[in-house]
Amino acid sequence: GVATRKGYESLKKAVVKIPPASLVLETDSPDQPPACWPGLNEPATLLRVAETVAALRKESPEALLLRSAENLRRVFKI
């Protein structure tokens, strides 16, 4: 979720370099206030995080979300 905030340039550069098989999206919910979503930080914020990270990586949010889900399933064996 922090990648959606202004600044944090070193984090944004790192997000671009993460290998696709290692990338998992999250929102920092509920302890971090959202930078990209008005109101509470909740699971729906993940869509905005995906849009931001996908733009940084020059790929579609849908593909990024699918890959993130696949990576989570692989790591947690679900």
Residue 44 CA, chain-centre distance (Å), reads 12
Q: Residue 18's closest CA among 51, 47, 57?
A: 57
Q: Residue 12's closest CA among 55, 45, 44, 47?
A: 55
Q: What is the pLDDT of residues 19-78, one digit of tens each?
A: 999 999 988 777 777 666 677 788 888 898 999 999 999 999 999 999 999 999 999 999
Q: How many Å apart are CA 43 and CA 19, to the nearest integer? A: 24
User: pLDDT at residue 14 above 70?
Assistant: yes
The residue whose two tokens read 């995906």 is 50
Helix/strand/coil percentages in the chain, nearest 5: 55, 0, 45
